[in-house]
Each structure stands twice: as structure tokens, then as C-alpha cells.
Structure 1
């Protein structure tokens, strides 16, 4: 019989304890002096934890020499897994070697989590911050990832699903304790205590919430050259301010220490390279008020001693520095924001040449003795790339050629950033896409593939309705308009009405890229009969149009309208402008217009301009000639580099008769949603004694607007001022009307919506001075 005796190494640790394991060894007598080799390893006591997690930790194999230190180290590593109450190791000696037997007593499988003592924070909120699935799971053999044992074990653990119905490690439970404390800290509790215990298969967190406090005051000490307000602006931690609606601002200590670093970065950007920002002092008063003191030693403010460009092969130094001469001249104070703007300017210029992976490194050579800094821009242009393949995705409706024909780059072209921007602007200009993006992939040396990704917007509009009045009777109408018709890029529209005394029937079509050229052909055919109570208007007409792209940004257009109409059944109380138009008329009008546009996005423009000039001549019983001019400009804020966009629009128009009368539709009606906001339609021009607008022969309108995103690509806010008038003769800049207001632009899948309030500063007598407007479409 081989000698059989027991060698026990035992340590145990309750789930709530962090003490190191206690190792106990029995007597081994003279056998301890012998050399024994490992015969086999046995694992016992596992119910929930997979043996696959155990074997990688036992780092001795068959035939290895077994010594006491090996077993001690293995026990400690097994304990570090955090899934066991007790771990015991037994040895059994045989004639062929030694057997190792590991016996485990596992922590309980957690099927439920509960909280005690939480009165101010709900169970639901606490469960949310734990980051664990709370739905019960009954499968076993699962464990949390553990990344400190080795790559093999880490890989196995990383693939395990999180959730209940398994053993939670001590490390994971401690992370939950910290998450609970962090949650309470965010809610303003400064001395929360959290412990835990097991109640069967339920893990219970016991919480002592403590007291809630808020930041009453932040005091900055030692700032002599930077304003206290400027320093506090970079901090996320805020002090109490009634007028800023901060009644009980919370303190997060981690955030406060990050604020200290932000203050230091602010000073360095201003040239204070020796600045020291001390650890903030936090004082609690009255059991609920935090008083925070931050001490600063500013040091000297460094000046620029010189500026150098390295590897600037394609521009002169003067060209790069032109916009920044004044701010970066020798002897001026260092300004990190200006330094970064020049870096961006250099990158933009080099990427415009096709160096899309250009890098610019800024090195600051500091002379602490002279308190100066030399700025060195090291330019690494890299290589130019040529377009190879172009892949298009996201166009579930649009055909590929609708997108490809708008791209300003093709296979074999030099890949340039400005071509991407222009392509994006042209695609947005179609009005079919909510999002247009480009994802370039380097394929091989000097070749690049480009993925064009679009997100289509809803381009169909359907209107169905019915109406009834004593004069018109019952009528039904249907209107259908489809942009990107059948994915071709064309626009089709049809509307018709069924009624005894009301109809508005029209069909129109716009065909883009006719003859595979940038030529648009369109037509409109209409028949309208409307009873306006005081008069009846009848019109039938046909209007074909043609436009062509004469250069990248310029387009010319022409068209003809053939119309017959009549104003009849005019009552005595009808507006005078209608009485003046009484009778039948025939009209043939032609127009010629020129437009230029480089706006980045017609729905949410942030840069670029629009220009349009139109000449129109009418022949027949309503002969006239008309000229209209319009110019819009969108300017992003590059002075303070904020997200504000400044918009300007100016319009001028004049119409004169050739024969009897000017057609009613050709007069200018100034005032309302699309001209001077705050006025009712047409009331910023001539009107009759009944306060009905009669239209003007001339108009001049200026609009200024400043817009800022509230929710990017969805909601913008803006302020505006409008000025102008409708008039028949005289000085166009004399006696203009002025209005101011605020508004919101909401971008919907159908169309952008503007809701605004406009206030007229000098309304004429008897005319309303303010108005809330609702605009479907774009203003500028």
C-alpha cells in the first residue's frame, strides 16, 4: 500500500470580505523531503462556474514537480477570480506520483437584486446604472469577463453574456457598489455608504444615502490676467445662480478635477506655460452648501519670438500666413486658438491640392528665460490619390445614375476635398436626400475607392380634402406631387377637383438631364375656376420651360406661358384691384433668367450664395415687362468660430404695363411670410380703403437673419430683422418698413417648417403691427 496522508491548504473568504487568504498546512513528516511529480488534477464542488475557467489558472501539468509555493500561488489566483467562498487543495500521494484535488465552495447564483435604504433614488434608476440585465436567466456555467489572469482566460471570459442567473464575482459587485455611489453623487449626495449581503439567491445592496448638497460658490484665487467669468465658463461644475435657473447645482468630484485640467489648458492656450492650478479646496457648510476654492499661480505670459514653416513646398509662407499676420507677429502674446486656426488653414489648403492625408505638426520651442515661444509648423503632405471605384449605397429609390451625374469626381480623377464638398452640395440641391456622406478607402498605392452614402427623404406629397359653402357647394380635391419620380430624378405633379363651382386641375412634369446633358425640360398645363365670394376667377394655360447648365455654378432658363382668363361676377364690395381687372384677357409671356448657386444645402444652408435675375415680357391684352433681381448670402461665423450662421437676402423688382393693364399675378405684394415678416400678406405696400392689398409696381426687400442649431439637422433657432416696401414710384430707400422677430426652423421628412413671431417697428395706420407666421418650405 502506498503511503497515504493528507496535505491540506485551506483558505476561505466571506463574500463581503477583502482580507487576504489564510493558508494552513498539515504535517508532511519526511515525505516533504521527497520529490513528487504531478499525476493528475481533480476539480470538485463546481455547480455554476465552468471548469474551463479553472484549468488556465492551474499552471502546472502532468509530470511537473509539485512544491508548496506552486500550490499557494494557484490558490491565490483562483481566489482572484472572485467566484468562490472557499477554495481547498488536497494532495494524495501514490506510487506513480501526486494527485492534486481542488474543492470549491461557490458564491450563490444571483437570481435577483434588491436595494435597502434608498428613499431618494428609485430601484429602477439604480438597476439602470448597474449595467446588468435584470431578466432572470436559469442557465449555469457562465461568468463575467476577467482580464487579469491571461489572454486565454480573458478571451473566454470576454465572450460570456452579462445577466442574472449566474455567479457574480466580487470584482463585479464592487463595481456595482461604485456605480451606486456615483449615481448618488450625481444626485448631490456627498457621503453615501453602500454595502451588500446575500439573502439566498438575492443580492441585497444596503444603502445609507447621507445628505444632499449643492455648489453654493466657486471662488477663483490668483487670477490676475484672465477674467473669473472666462475661467468659470470652461468648467462643467457650476455654482448656484438664480437668474441662470441653477437653483441646486450638483457637485461631482471627478468632474471638478477634470475642470482643473480644463483651467490649466485655458491658461496654456493664452500663453501661460508656467501656470499652476492647485487641487480644489472643498468646504461643506450648513450640511448642504459646497464652497469651492481654486488657487491659480499664473506665471508669465509668453510672447511669440518667431514663426517657421517646414516642408512647405506648394505655397509661400506669405500665402499661408496672410489671414493671421496680425495675431501671430513677433512680440504678440501667444494665442493657442489662433495657432490651431492656422494649422487648420494649412490642412485645408493642402487637402485642396489632393493631399487628403496631409498632416501638420505644431512644435512650440519655449524659452523660459526670455519668456518667449517660437512656433514651428512641420507640414507632411503625404501622397496624392486618384479615384478608382465609386460605390453608391442607401439609394433604395434613386437610380445610381441620378447620383453619379451630380458627382464632381469620376474614376481616374485626382481625389480632392473641394470636389467632395461640391458633389455633396449638388446632391443636397436635388432635395431628395436627408444625408449625403463620403467614405474613402485607400485601395493601393495612389488609388482610392469612394463609398457614396445617402439617406433618402420622403419626396411625395399627397393632399386629399373636401369643401362646402353656399356659393361653391360640395367639392372634392386630390393633389399628388412626387419628386424623384420612379427614381429618375424627375418631378411629376397632378391635381384635380370635382365640384360644381370650384376646380383646380393641373398636370406638370420636370425632366432632368434631358438628352444625357445637364438640361432640364418641363411643362405645366392648368385649368382653374375659383369662386372667391366677391368675384370669380377663370384661367386656362400651358407653360413649357427649358433650362441648361452653362457652367459649374451657373444655369440659364427660358420658357413661355400661354394663358386665357377672365374675372367675372364681381360684387360691389370686391377689392378695387379686382374691379380693375374685370373682363376677359389673353396673355402670352416669355421669360429668360440666369441663376448662380454654390449653397451647401438648400434646406439648412450654412455657406455659399444664391443669385438670380429674371427678365419677363408679356404680350396681348395684358402686356407688360418685368425684371426681378435676388441675391442671398450665407456666412458661417469665422470671427469667434461659433455655430452661428449669418444670412442676408436682398430683392428688387419692377413691372410696367405695355398695353391696358398689368396682370394681377405680376404685381409685387410685399409683406408676409416670404418678404417682411410681421406684416399680413401684401400690407407693406399699397392697399385700398378696405385694407385690401392692391399690389405694387416695384419692390425692395432686405432680410438679415442669424441662426443657431439647437438640435443638429433637426431644429434651429434664429433672430431676424426685415426691411423694405412695395411702391409705385419715388426713392426706393425712403420710408421703408422695418420688423424684427424670432423663430424656429423644424426639419421634417416632408419639408422644413418655420414658426416665427414678427414685430413691425413702424406700421402704417390701421395695419397690424405683429404676426405669428407658419411657413412650409424655405425662406432664403
Structure 2
């Protein structure tokens, strides 16, 4: 008997129930559904005669909520009572025998589709168990067993414990590529996840041989694609054959390959209506070249290039097909591109979603397509990158919603990032001792896009305090504005003379956005400086600096916190001497380049390069505080900040160059944690860059935490000399590469 027939039994036994008029309706033991919703759910009301069919339909509706184990219906003198037995909720979840860290378990719970507060059901728990077993298998644990322990806490809640008995992890001691003659094993291992175990497998960069079952179904496709990249268009690769010895947990994996012949490109033809775009203008920019070995990656790149070129003219729905016409006797292939542009597409409307804080107009000013505009694919991609560069959003996606043959809507979907930051950082050095820095910053105050910040830095030899406000788009225009006030104090310990320097300053600036990636501007700076010498008061100085600082800033990166492609260039020239006491020219240049390998190798490794080149020219009076220094997080790691600078009676260093190379790799992607290695090299001198040369190397951990970017740096100096101020560990919160 089903639940519905069971609960209707009291009505079936009542001979005159159908003639009874309902005087009142009551609900018992109803917690998860409000009475208002309950009354909206029932198919009857006070004054109706009891109708078994309506009651049956009502019960079916309640069971569809998924909250109830049983429902009983009673009638007493016209009072109809619905008594509910609700399913218990899951108050506690735990996994034993697998993944001990709470953060790892949270990721597992999400993957299993189960969480605290969920309604318990046998189906939900079995589904979670299945997902957990699949995850164990994906990690190479075959034959795992998961048992579920259900412990009631009270009438309304229970605790779940998934008890894991991990199966054996299979290690591949042999991987064979049967039939491979023209491609080396190392090339296969670059594209596959299952690799033969190497000696010293525990060492960085060596293959551990662990079987990754979830990748097995894709490995032969990856190898076949590798052959296509090398021009072997007839290559056939069968699904791998896995043999496991469960006594030793050793595995053997065999790939069976028929390479075929290698093709070179004979000719390339593009069929495209010349009235839309002359195809002759495209050939010079194609990656594929005649008389060169065919490469499927270059073909895909050419398809994207042709599609972008046509889409930039408004043909958003253009199709680019290709045909490969092989000549096996000549070992050549003719590549034919056929382009069907369809109709030009215009923007119908632009919608913004996901922004609970950021104003719509702040987002729209970085969307380079507006209603009635002709679609342009470059504008579309640049809009996504520009929004990511603001640092206001964790994720940005712009959906193209087709309205008609010649119209589309754009739906800009953003996930807002926490832009208000409480930044804490510090380190230790033999010179400064313990160093602490703190800042309260909001780069999107009140959702307006304005950046308001307050920062301070303290150690036994320095103190900094600064308040600043930056508006990147005054009245949503192309003009920007800056205002900043600051105080800087330095205690300088020198073998020749100890001194203290105090600087109070104010900066006003204005800029203009010339293109979507290029901004120019100029800042006006006014400073008062007091220098006091402990034992030689005659050296005391009290002077003013008034300078103008024109600058150029180019930024084409695709993200603010973690760029994977693009470059940054900043160049400024500070000219002091129009007023005040100081007279000098200081030129500072910074270049950054980012390249991600995700598209190429399906692995989120990122190469980063940064170079700084600075030049200083004394025009009469050059304050000591304007000299260049080398060492620290901003130049050469492995040495203290300002480790290399001039002595008290020395001329200032007027030239400085440093470059930093990094490779970063994912550590815990869901937690936004990465690790990496670096090499730094820097030079500094007077009229030359060869006076002092130092290098450093090491590793680091970085985490884009809720309070800002956090880095732990473990460094080792290279080529250091006796007396150098070295530093093996530093941490920083709030600074980016």
C-alpha cells in the first residue's frame, strides 16, 4: 500500500465522510513550511465538503516538497487536521579515513552535493557516496569502500559519517608507446597525465607514476592530437590497455599507435566574399605556412584569427570551416578555409547582473559595446579584460544572447570581489628589525569605482603614513584624478654618521585615458624635508622639493590579481627645480609581461617577468633621499630592502636595473593558492650599471586571501659577499608582482 492510500484510510472507513462540511483546517508538526504556504498548497478550504480526490492531490503536492516522511489526515466534527512527520535534517557531516584537512573536506562536500542543513534522504546520501567513490577512483585508489554511519541526534536531526577504507593506489612502473618511432617519450609525457614512474620520483619535476584513472579515457586523444601537431594526419591511437598486478599494486599501460606519414602544407586557400573582407589581407598573418610541416594547433589558431577578423566587422555569427585535402603520394595537404559570414549583428541591449555593490554605470564604462553598436569581437574580448583589470570582480563573463538574425543582447555577469581590504604584512631584517605594515583600503568605495586608502609602515628605523584618494573616471569621463598626503620618517645608521630624515608631502594629479589600454597624466608634488645628523649638526638640512611628474601607463593584462596574459608598462619623469630647493631629473620605468600555459598544455602554469630601469640626473642640489637602492621584494630577493646604497659622503647611485623571472603553479586552485620559483638579478652604480651586481633565487607561496594578496618568500642570495645584508625569509600582504 502506498503512502497516499494509507493516510486516506480514516476517510475510507468513515461512511459519511464525503458529506461532511469542513469547518476548520489545522496543521500539526509543520516546521519547514509556513502556514501561509500550506494553505496555498491545499486544494480545499473551509466551507467545502470533504473530497477524497482533492485531499489526495494535496498530499501529493506536500510530498513534492521533499520534506516529509509521512502525512496523516484526520477529521473530527468538520475539523480537518493534517499531521506531518518531517524528514530529519543533516546537522553534522564528517569523512574519516580520507582527507583530514577541513578545507579539503569542504571541497569534497560540495563535490558530493551534500551540506549541513540539507534534508536527509536515502537517495541523497547514496548519491553522495557514489560521488565520493568516483573521486577516490579518480585519485587512483581502486577497490575503495565507503560505509555510512547514521546517528540520530534528536527527532529532527542526525549526523552522517562517511567511513572510507581507501583502496590501493596503483603505480605505473611501465608505460609503453607501441608503434611510436618519430616522437620521443618525453613529448608524450608532456601531454598525458599517466606517466611511467621515474627514479627519485619524490624529487620536484620527476614522475611519481601514480595511476590517474579519470584521465585514461582522454589519453589516446591527447596523443593523437600531438601527432596532428607534428603533421601526422593519418595517425591512429587506440584506447590504452591497462594491466594491474594487485599483489604488488604495479600497473602496466600500453598505447598502440599507427603513426602514418607526415604531411607538409602544399597550399592554403581562403574562400571569403571580398566585398566583406579581402582574403588576401589575411594570408600574411596565418600561422600555417606553405612548405612547412602541418600543425593542427596552428590551424586552430588560424580559424580563430579568421573568425575574429570577420567578427570585428560585425559578423558575430560567422562560421569558419576548413577542409584538409591530403595527397598521400606527395605527403602534402591543401588547407581550404570556407567562411560564411551570415548577417551583420548589432547590439540590441546590454544588461548587468551579479553586482550587488558596484554601480551599473561603473561597469558600463568598461564595456566597449553599447546598444545599436555593430558587434566587434575585439571590443567584446577587451571588455572582459578591462572589467577584470579593475580588481572589483572575481569573475567576469559576457554572454551573447541571440535575439534575431541581426541582433543580440549582451548579459554582463560579474561576481564581485571583496575590494575593502585590511592589509597586514611584515618581515625581519638585521637593519630594520621587525617590520610591520598595515593598510585600510577600498578600491571600490560605495561601489563608485573610486579608490580610498590609508596605510602605515613601522619598524625601529622607519615610519610611514599616507592617505590617498584616486578617481579613475571623473564624472564617468576619460579623465582621472589623484590626491595624496603622506609623512615618512627614516633613521639611517651609517658607520660615518647616524641621521634622521622626516618628509611631509602632498600630491595632486590628473590623467587621461587615450585608449582602452593607455593612460597618460601628470602629478604635482610638494615636499618638505628635514635631515638631522646625530653628531654633526653642521650637516643638518631643511629643504623643499617641488616637482612635476608626467607619466605614461599601458596595461593590456587580463586580470588584476592573477594575470595570465598581457603586459604592463609604466614610465615617469620627475622634474624638480621649478620651485623649491631640490634640482634634479629622475626617470623610472617598469615593464611586466605575463604568459599562461593553460591553453597550450592544459595546465595553469604562468610565466612572469618584471624589469625596472631607473636613471637620476643631478641639476644642482640632489637630496640624499632621491638616490637609488638595490635589494628587497621590489628588486632582488635574498637581500634586505635598501641593502645596497651609498654611504654618507658618497655620491648617490644614479642608475639602477633589476629584473625578476617567475614561474608559478597551482597549489590549491579552489582556495586561490599557488606556489612558484623565481630568479632575480639586479645592478646599480654611478654612471654605469656595473658597480654592484647581485642575484637571488628561491621559492614562494602566494594566496589571494579574503584580505588581500599574501606571499611567503624563501630566498637564497647568489654571489653575495662578506658584509652583504642578506634575508632568507620575508612575507608580504597586499603587494602584487
Question: Do the structures match in fold with TM over 0.5?
Answer: yes
* More displaced stretch, 397-406 vs 588-597: 588-597
Q: Is it true that 1:651 corresponds to 2:607 in the alignment?
A: no
The residue aligned with 1:762 is 719
Structure 1 distance, partners of 2:294, 2:437, is 68
Alignment counterpart, residue 753 of structure 1, candidates 690, 701, 710: 710
The residue aligned with 1:626 is 585
* 1:591–1:278 CA distance, 2 compared to 1 (3 A): closer
Q: Is it true that 1:350 corresponds to 2:310 in the alignment?
A: yes
* 1:257–1:514 CA distance, 2 compared to 1 (3 A): closer
Alignment counterpart, residue 412 of structure 1, candidates 342, 349, 372: 372
Q: Is the contact made by 2:142 and 2:167 (CA closer than 8 Å) also made in structure 1?
A: no
Structure 1 distance, partners of 2:442, 2:111, is 50
Aligned-pair CA distance for 1:402: 1.9
Q: Is it true that 1:571 corresponds to 2:534 in the alignment?
A: yes
The residue aligned with 1:54 is none
* 1:287–1:163 CA distance, 2 compared to 1 (3 A): closer
> How do 1:303-702 residues align onto structure 2 when only pairs under 5 Å count?
303-311=264-272, 313=274, 314-317=276-279, 319-324=281-286, 328-330=289-291, 332-367=292-327, 372-462=332-422, 480-493=440-453, 507-514=467-474, 516-526=476-486, 537-568=501-532, 570-572=533-535, 582-605=540-563, 606-618=565-577, 622-636=581-595, 641-642=600-601, 644-659=605-620, 661-687=621-647, 696-702=653-659
The residue aligned with 1:102 is none
* 1:607–1:185 CA distance, 2 compared to 1 (3 A): closer
Aligned-pair CA distance for 1:376: 2.1
Q: Taking structure 2 as the reference length, what is the TM-score of the superposition?
A: 0.67
Rg larger in structure: 1
- Unpaired runs of at least 5, structure 1: 1-45, 52-108, 112-119, 140-160, 193-207, 466-475
* 1:617–1:133 CA distance, 2 compared to 1 (3 A): closer
* 1:456–1:133 CA distance, 2 compared to 1 (3 A): closer
The residue aligned with 2:180 is 223
Structure 2 distance, partners of 1:487, 1:496, is 24
Q: Is the contact made by 2:362 and 2:476 (CA closer than 8 Å) also made in structure 1?
A: no
Structure 2 distance, partners of 1:460, 1:429, is 16
Q: Supply the RMSD in Å over aligned alpha carbons.
A: 5.0
Structure 2 distance, partners of 1:138, 1:558, is 61
Q: Is the contact made by 1:717 and 1:745 (CA closer than 8 Å) also made in structure 2?
A: yes
User: Which whole-Å deviations, capped at 9, do the CAs of 1:94-129 have from their partners, x for residues lacking one?
Assistant: xxxxxxxxxxxxxxx9x9xxxxxxxx999x99x999
Q: Is it true that 1:187 corresponds to 2:141 in the alignment?
A: yes
- Aligned residue for 2:634, secondary structure, equals coil
The residue aligned with 1:722 is 680
Structure 2 distance, partners of 1:723, 1:134, is 50
The residue aligned with 2:31 is none
* 1:133–1:774 CA distance, 2 compared to 1 (3 A): closer
Q: Is the contact made by 1:686 and 1:696 (CA closer than 8 Å) also made in structure 2?
A: yes
* 1:592–1:261 CA distance, 2 compared to 1 (3 A): closer
> How do 1:194-205 residues align onto structure 2 when only pairs under 5 Å count?
none
User: Which whole-Å deviations, capped at 9, do the CAs of 1:549-590 have from their partners, x for residues lacking one?
Assistant: 34444433333333334234x434xxx9xx796243333333
Aligned-pair CA distance for 1:223: 2.1
* More displaced stretch, 243-252 vs 595-604: 243-252
- Aligned residue for 2:302, secondary structure, equals helix
Q: Is the contact made by 1:686 and 1:726 (CA closer than 8 Å) also made in structure 2?
A: no
* 1:274–1:733 CA distance, 2 compared to 1 (3 A): same
Structure 1 distance, partners of 2:166, 2:580, is 87
Q: Taking structure 1 as the reference length, what is the TM-score of the superposition?
A: 0.63
Structure 2 distance, partners of 1:184, 1:600, is 32
Aligned-pair CA distance for 1:617: 0.9
Aligned-pair CA distance for 1:767: 0.4
Q: Is it true that 1:298 corresponds to 2:253 in the alignment?
A: no
Q: Is the contact made by 1:671 and 1:685 (CA closer than 8 Å) also made in structure 2?
A: no
